[in-house]
Amino acid sequence: MAMMIDSMMCTACGDCESVCPTGAIIPHKGVYMIQADKCTECEPDHDMPQCLNACMEDGCISPAE
């Protein structure tokens, strides 16, 4: 499974990009997106995805469906 960023909620602050250990978060069309093929949800190194801790917008980052 991977995380995803809601492009309508993303403020393009970039806080999530710098904490992603796999480099899965990249700028895309003025906001950020998570490359599903690179996202590991920070397992097994962390208890929770680091982007969730960094994002200031509640609900902006969530598990991909």
- The tens digit of pLDDT for each residue in 18-56 reads 999 999 999 999 999 999 999 999 999 999 999 999 999
Give the separation between CA 5 and CA 49, rounded to whole angstroms: 12
Is residue 3 within 8 Å of 34, Cβ to Cβ? Answer: yes
pLDDT at residue 17, rounded to an integer: 97
pLDDT at residue 65, rounded to an integer: 82
- Give the start-to-end residue ranges of the domains of the chain: 2-57
Helices (H), the chain: 15-19, 50-54
Give the separation between CA 1 and CA 39, rounded to whole angstroms: 8
Residue type at 62?
S
Kindly tell me if the per-residue pLDDT of 1 is higher than 90.
no
> Which CATH number applies to 2-57?
3.30.70.20
